[in-house]
Structure 1
Amino acid sequence: MSCAGQTVRHHAPVLGTRAACHRPRGDLPSGLMPQPLLSVVVPAYDQQGQLAECLDSILDQSFGGFEVIVVADRSAQSPAAVAQTADDRVSVLRLNAAVGVGRARNAGAARAQGRYLLFLDADHLVTPGAFLTLADRLRAEPEAEVVLFGHTRLHRERVWPGAAQAVLGGLGAAAFTPVERPEVFGVPAQAWDRLISRELWMDAQLAFPDGRYEEISVVHQALLRARRAVALADELVQLRRRQTVHPTASPGASEFDLFDQYERSFELLNGLSLTAADLVRPFLFRRMVQHYLFVLDLAGCVSRAERPQFFHRAAEHYRRLLPEGFRRPGGREGVKFSLLAGGSYSAFEVAKLTQIARTAVTGRNAS
């Protein structure tokens, strides 16, 4: 069997430690298992030694109708060996080359048998009771093709809320069509804070592209193709790293892949009616600009030598993709939008340094 041009070999199950050897009461014996509700795909990139905890958080779920597909390639970040387990909900797919997280996820999705796909990474934790919450929601809305839910981020021993919670809370309990609630295109496009039905995945021929920020266009395509979606404000997954972007991309990837990913997303709007495209475009544009500014603000994300080039690429996207009648946000964020629209990197850097100095002075005065 081949996947992404690579031979796939099936190895013994790879699991965590705590919950590896028992199945929740009420599950059927091996060979009699019904179709799982969820297929959880976990690329086995484990730079921080967190994979076992991630898998334990999955296997500890009180709802047992799921399978876990761990995908390991030959990259240095993928563990060469892990402990075996008797839990038959877990299988392992090992690829014979270093392919990156996007192709690893695609390989797992191709093997999945569940009704819904959930893509997690080694540095995610699933909150207790999360799968039962999702199962209950899907019992009420069995035709949902996408299920959105909240997440948190753990960084420097602080828990930060996800950027989508305010939007999710405003969507209400009823099912909706994403293009008719275009605010969902204004939140970060993550693969791990939503379920995507496997039927939609196959019908829309979804696949993660190569490069960094590989989730963006896939998430947007799923939303654009979905006829029925539901949202939960519950925070069901926690991310345990500083950035939301996965650190292990395909060979040759760079921060500049971000521009290609948003190009793909805006090209998808060409398949919509003019009315639908006009609804979605302002939200997608604002999210894109926010993302570019976030990357520029994040220390060490783009090298000092490459910052001017990154800024000018972002400014070009701003001018070319600007929706007619778009209103910039207010406050400090609006100032950043204006500086990017102006296209002057020197003015942007001066404004940033001025803000840093003002913040430092304010901090000293407060102390």
Structure 2
Amino acid sequence: MLTSPLISVIVIAHDRQGGLEGCLQSILCQSFKDVEVVVVADESPECRPAVVEAFARSDERVSLVRLDGVVGVGRVRNAGADRATGRYLLFLDTDHILWDGTLQAMADRLRTCDEPDVLLLGHTRLHKGRSWPGAAAELLAGLDSRPFDPADRPELLGAPAYVWDRLIRRDFWAAQALSFPEGLHEEVAVVHRALLAADRVAALKWDCVQIRRRHTQHPAGSPGATHFDVFDRYEESFGLLGEYARTEAAPFLFTRMVRHHLFLLHLSGCLARSERPQFFRRASEQYQRFVPGGYERPQGREGVKFQLVAGGGYGAFQSARIPQLARGVLSRP
């Protein structure tokens, strides 16, 4: 491409579910053309560079970056960001698609908002043939129509930290020296740092991206990584609150952290049985260290789970889970 595009879409080529073609087509077939697609492939057998090369031969907006060895998702994404030339970065995986017209909507929103540091996007999740709203849909709907200072919306730190439901200005990415770490849950601190460092954020209240993942874990994986990496991610994120003097956001980030820990504890196949007591202990330790003064736990059953984590009793937590597990078994066809 002779000129820098408005948007660089960075796609990880790991294709466990066979969605690579659909992902690329959903980008390239849109009416908005001022976009480049940077696909990054390492030497994992789940990568399909031949598919990317075929797209590149027919569309000059597509380029392929090859990495030696099998590396983690963080290094793959960083390589894509380094190669990108667009004014904005959008990170996707092969199990994401963009709905028709969304690139044009993004471009229009960037123009009317005078190019904010971050543009938040709506998304949906396809599960068992049904499209579900994203976890932050209600929060997104309540945001201002005009660009805003994220310091005025601390609740943004309570939303799931996804990097694929937002555009990030590339100059801002470089100025903040943003990069993904090695290991799992690599998005967490990157998304939080971007929100804390940004001066201007805007929202596009469209469902732009749909995730069609059949497996909860990221398709690229990360060699040598474990779900225990999540504790380091939130250590960094709470450190960022102090660095940016944003202690008013602590209750929102704390709630997000505990929900993340509970999600991993409840997710079938995520943690080995032998790992669960240690993971629960680490979650309880982080709870006790980072709980803000005067914190009010969520209401209802979720609040009970928070209380169990706060108490640190794994046996009590397991006992509380047994009726839920039994109901799950009995409800199966």
TM-score in terms of structure 1 length: 0.86
Contact kept? 1:178, 1:227, Cα under 8 Å: yes
Structure 2's unaligned 5+ residue stretches are none
Q: Which residue of 2 aligns with 1:292?
A: 261
Q: Which residue of 2 aligns with 1:41?
A: 10
Q: Which residue of 2 aligns with 1:108?
A: 80
What is the letter of the counterpart of residue 306 of structure 1?
Answer: E
Contact kept? 2:158, 2:256, Cα under 8 Å: yes
Contact kept? 1:175, 1:230, Cα under 8 Å: yes
Equivalent residue in structure 1 for 2:37, among 59, 68, 71: 68
Contact kept? 2:13, 2:49, Cα under 8 Å: no
Q: Which residue of 2 aligns with 1:20?
A: none
Map 1:1-367; keep pairs closer than 5 Å.
Answer: 31=2, 34-82=3-51, 83-84=53-54, 85-242=57-214, 245-273=217-245, 277-357=246-326
SS of the residue 2:50 aligns to: coil
Contact kept? 2:38, 2:80, Cα under 8 Å: yes
1 or 2, which has the higher helix percentage?
Answer: 2
What is the letter of the counterpart of residue 299 of structure 2?
Answer: G
Q: Write the distance in 2 (CA, Å) between the matches of 1:113 and 1:159.
A: 33
| Deviation readout 1:1-52 (Å, 9 max, x if unpaired) | xxxxxxxxxxxxxxxxxxxxxxxxxxxxx54xx3211000011101111101
1:342 to 1:242, Cα distance in 2 relative to 1, 3 A: farther
Q: Write the distance in 1 (CA, Å) between the matches of 2:72 and 2:20.
A: 16
SS of the residue 1:109 aligns to: helix
Alpha-carbon distance, 1:148 to partner: 0.5
What is the letter of the counterpart of residue 49 of structure 1?
Answer: G
Q: Which runs of 4+ in 1 moved over 3 A?
A: 242-245, 355-361
Alpha-carbon distance, 1:205 to partner: 0.1
Contact kept? 2:189, 2:233, Cα under 8 Å: yes
What is the letter of the counterpart of residue 336 of structure 1?
Answer: K
| Deviation readout 1:183-217 (Å, 9 max, x if unpaired) | 11101000100000001100000000000110100
Count of paired positions: 330
TM-score in terms of structure 2 length: 0.95
Q: Write the distance in 1 (CA, Å) between the matches of 2:22 and 2:288.
A: 45
| Deviation readout 1:310-350 (Å, 9 max, x if unpaired) | 11110110000111111101011101101111110110011
Contact kept? 2:13, 2:39, Cα under 8 Å: yes
Alpha-carbon distance, 1:141 to partner: 0.8
1:210 to 1:302, Cα distance in 2 relative to 1, 3 A: same
Q: Write the distance in 2 (CA, Å) between the matches of 1:179 and 1:247.
A: 33
Q: Write the distance in 2 (CA, Å) between the matches of 1:360 and 1:88.
A: 51
Q: What is the aligned-residue RMSD (CA, Å)?
A: 1.7
Alpha-carbon distance, 1:226 to partner: 0.4
1:96 to 1:344, Cα distance in 2 relative to 1, 3 A: same
| Deviation readout 1:163-185 (Å, 9 max, x if unpaired) | 01000001120111112201111
Alpha-carbon distance, 1:243 to partner: 5.1
* Bigger Rg over Cα: 1
